Structure 1
């Protein structure tokens, strides 16, 4: 009886290890998502304007971008309908459809920070790429430091 169990486990292990896609194989359609925009900090309020872009080669029906701040967000936020709070310092937003080699609709988010820090860093990255494979993460992972001056900082 013990021998049968061991053989069954070995067979299952072989299937799990050998049954996946080959290294480097594309599992879904390929797309190259990128985010560029501006962040402004003034008096504990942070305004973000970002435009998602898909460098292609395939369209993306929808994706999710994550915005994370170095300072905690105030407990109460008024976010756009396409955005949701995802933690003490995090908001996620839907990009909507992104055509191949095209721009998506601009996303505008205003958040209130807990307190009034003199500076805040913000990280932007893709949480979900709509089922597509993105081999170039150099342009969908951004980080920007913004001072509480009311000036716009580009990313």
Structure 2
């Protein structure tokens, strides 16, 4: 079931990625034969940033994540990917905006993120398959609805080493 959900999410991300381009638009898909120019869409840029903290204790992982859009364009949707170095226990419920992509990866929709102020919040409380002393979490933007550019991608990509101390590791 988890693999089916992962395939569905991947398909929706791939299908949704082309939704921002239409006939006559300027973009890689809109060549001269479609009435467009070769290049990227003009004015479609969004600077996503993800910040928060991760904690690990007694085989549990807590993630608190805030996604922001610093603009200049609004986004109707984005997908953030959380990849864990250790497998998570099976059968766990996720918030409605999230799906299991594998036993180590959770993908979540951010919802609408308006330019210069749009904020999406996410909280996860997960069980690990074992009792690791540490794990690594990679937080990345997997998809930005129609946004061709992010001039500051460093603030939406993080790799956090988390020790099993219960302390919040900030990113």
Q: Same fold (TM over 0.5)?
A: yes
- Between 49-58 and 132-141, report the one with greater CA deviation: 132-141
**From 138, 144, 147, the counterpart of 2:163:** 147
SS in 2 for 1:39: strand
Distance in 2, Cα, partners of 1:76 & 1:148: 22
Q: What is the count of residue pairs matched by the alignment?
A: 136
> Counterpart in 1 of 2:45?
30
State how far apart, in whole Å, the 2-side matches of 1:72 and 1:27 are. Answer: 39
Match of 1:105 in 2: 120
Measured in 1, the distance between the counterparts of 2:87 and 2:140 equals 18
Q: Which has the larger radius of gyration?
A: 1
1:127 maps to 142
Give structure 1 stretches of 5+ with no counterpart. 1-15
Moved more, 135-144 or 89-98: 135-144
Mapped contact 2:67–2:121 kept (Cα < 8 A): yes
Q: 1:37 & 1:26 partners in 2: Cα distance?
A: 31
Q: Choose which of 61, 86, 89 in structure 2 pairs with 1:71.
A: 86
**1:105 Cα deviation from its structure 2 partner:** 2.6
CA RMSD of aligned residues (A): 1.7
- Please, which of 91, 114, 117 is the counterpart of residue 106 of structure 2? 91
DSSP 3-state at the match of 2:82: strand
- Per-residue deviation, 1:40: 0.7
Aligned position for 2:24: none
Offset from partner CA, 1:18-48 (integer Å, 9 cap, x none): x4864xx433611000100010111111010
Structure 1 segments (4+ residues) deviating >6 Å = none
Q: TM-score, length-normalised on structure 2? A: 0.75
Contact 2:112 2:118 (C-alpha < 8 Å) held by counterparts: no
Unpaired segments of 5 or more residues in structure 2?
1-27
SS at match of 1:71: coil
Secondary structure of 1:138 counterpart: helix
Q: 1:84-130, CA deviations, whole angstroms, 9 ceiling, x for partnerless residues?
A: 10012000011011110114131111211110100011000011101
